[in-house]
């Protein structure tokens, strides 16, 4: 089964740690990061797509992607 996640959050160290944790669990970057600026709050938000291939498991919509 091939899994896809899109990790989002403010552009801070916590976001980087979330992406780093995913990479250390075997997820792979899928494309480059995305950025958007929220003018109302003055904050930059990031997003990064990650993918992972998991053998021997069938996809169901109720799985928790973060568990992989």
Query: b/e per residue, 30-44, with b = 16+ CB within 10 A?
Result: eeeeeeeeeeeeeee
Residues in the chain: 68
Q: In a 3-state reduction of DSSP, which class is residue 24?
A: helix
pLDDT tens-place string over residues 7-66: 999 999 999 999 999 999 999 999 999 999 999 999 999 999 999 999 998 999 999 988
pTM: 0.87
């Amino acid at each position: 089964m091939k899994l896809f996640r899109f990790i989002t959050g403010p552009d801070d160290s916590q976001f980087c740690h979330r992406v780093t944790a995913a990479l250390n669990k075997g997820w792979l970057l899928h494309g480059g990061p995305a950025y958007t600026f929220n003018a109302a709050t003055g904050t930059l938000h990031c997003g990064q797509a990650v993918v992972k291939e998991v053998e021997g498991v069938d996809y169901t919509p109720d799985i928790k992607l973060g568990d992989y």
